[in-house]
């Protein structure tokens, strides 16, 4: 098999040196060139024919956003992995890039000279490999087709403890997919919603804010002790695990910094297992697009404990990894496309509430 050809685009001379060093630790990857800004990058793409591009957002002349728009328009099968600054503005730009069609992103370390580059090296390598394997035009278009929803009328949260839980886990391709699902749920959605999206520190707060603007339900980054109430989605913070706990005065989320699970913190498995143990038959687990197996065994536990389990289908997944493994192991009771999920989830919980009311 020939090496995966990578073009590195970054205005920093240091990063143009360090990123190729990280990439070429893996013999399956080969850096065919570098570019200091978007104009140079767009000239080099036809010449070098890369399989994937790493793209800095903050560059002179033509910045990363304009470069990405050009790539999506003129080279639609060429995947782009964004290299994002660890700032509020950097996070905002990253989510815009993902909505435009970027495959995924990595966050630059605070200090590239401190040796922290090793911490993101394997993450970058795995994402570059996944991006090159997935010439994912159809999947990205599927995820982006519904578009963003401008802020809807919010329903006042009354802090009534939620008896039911929707737990969502996602990785690569997840931000757009999670946004689509949550934006389609009604303000009076009758369950609490908990989300683990593989994402580093500093990005989950912006992610939650972006979702809150697009949704009728309330969306916020979780803090320890947050009440689980109907019509509110809590996003697990980066570099924390999230669990649930039943308490006399209301069900709450618990955050911790325990060891990584499946290489991740936050881990979908940690959330799903906790939801299964605490809520059992009153839970629905949804495993979405992403690499690897995080969340698979947790989804199996939700099913074993009487909850309902869903997995995203291959066609609408940017990376059909986590949901594929769940389907192969028989843990997913239903496999649905992204466009079918919101209606199914809303109907499932509405019917559950109706059944309980009829028994009373």
Catalytic residues: 171, 198, 294
The C-alpha atoms of residue 268 and residue 299 are separated, in whole angstroms, by 9
Beta-carbon contacts of 188 under 8 Å, excluding residues fewer than 6 positions away, are 155, 230, 231
The C-alpha atoms of residue 160 and residue 228 are separated, in whole angstroms, by 8
Residue 286, helix vs strand vs coil: strand
The C-alpha atoms of residue 146 and residue 184 are separated, in whole angstroms, by 10
The C-alpha atoms of residue 138 and residue 160 are separated, in whole angstroms, by 41
Is the omega angle on the peptide bond into residue 36 within 30 degrees of 0, that is, cis? no
Beta-carbon contacts of 353 under 8 Å, excluding residues fewer than 6 positions away, are 164, 190
The C-alpha atoms of residue 316 and residue 288 are separated, in whole angstroms, by 10
53, β-bridge pairs: 7, 80
Closest CA to 218 of 140, 308, 158: 158
The C-alpha atoms of residue 71 and residue 65 are separated, in whole angstroms, by 10
């Amino acid at each position: 098999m020939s090496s995966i050809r990578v073009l590195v685009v970054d205005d920093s001379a240091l990063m143009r040196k360090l990123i190729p060093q990280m990439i070429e630790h893996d013999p399956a990857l080969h850096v065919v060139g570098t570019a200091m800004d978007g104009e140079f990058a767009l000239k080099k793409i036809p010449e070098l024919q890369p399989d994937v591009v790493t793209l800095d957002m903050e560059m002179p002349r033509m910045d990363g956003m304009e470069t990405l728009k050009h790539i999506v328009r003129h080279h639609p099968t060429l995947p782009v992995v964004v290299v994002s600054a660890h700032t509020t503005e950097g996070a905002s730009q990253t989510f815009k890039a993902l909505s435009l069609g970027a495959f995924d992103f990595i966050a630059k370390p605070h200090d590239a000279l401190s040796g922290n580059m090793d911490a993101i090296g394997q993450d970058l390598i795995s994402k570059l490999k996944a991006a090159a394997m997935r010439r994912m035009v159809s999947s990205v278009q599927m995820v982006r087709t519904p578009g963003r929803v401008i802020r809807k009328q919010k329903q006042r949260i009354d802090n009534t403890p939620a008896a039911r839980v929707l737990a969502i886990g996602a990785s690569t391709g997840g931000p757009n997919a999670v946004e689509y699902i949550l934006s389609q749920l009604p303000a009076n959605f009758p369950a609490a919603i908990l989300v683990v999206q593989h994402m580093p520190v500093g990005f989950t707060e912006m992610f939650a804010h972006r979702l809150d603007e697009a949704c009728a339900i309330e969306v916020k980054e979780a803090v320890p002790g947050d009440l689980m109430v109907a019509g509110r989605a809590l996003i697990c913070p980066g570099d924390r695990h999230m669990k649930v706990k039943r308490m006399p005065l209301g069900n709450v989320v618990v955050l911790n910094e325990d060891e990584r699970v499946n290489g991740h913190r936050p881990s979908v498995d940690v959330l799903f297992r906790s939801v299964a143990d605490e809520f059992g038959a009153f839970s629905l687990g949804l495993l979405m697009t992403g690499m690897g197996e995080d969340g698979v065994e947790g989804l199996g536990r939700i099913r074993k404990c009487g909850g309902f389990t869903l997995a995203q289908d291959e066609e609408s997944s940017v990376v059909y990894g986590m949901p594929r493994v769940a389907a192969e192991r028989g843990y997913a009771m239903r496999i649905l496309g992204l466009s079918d999920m919101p209606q199914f989830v809303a109907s499932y919980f509405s019917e559950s509430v109706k059944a309980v009311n009829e028994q009373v």
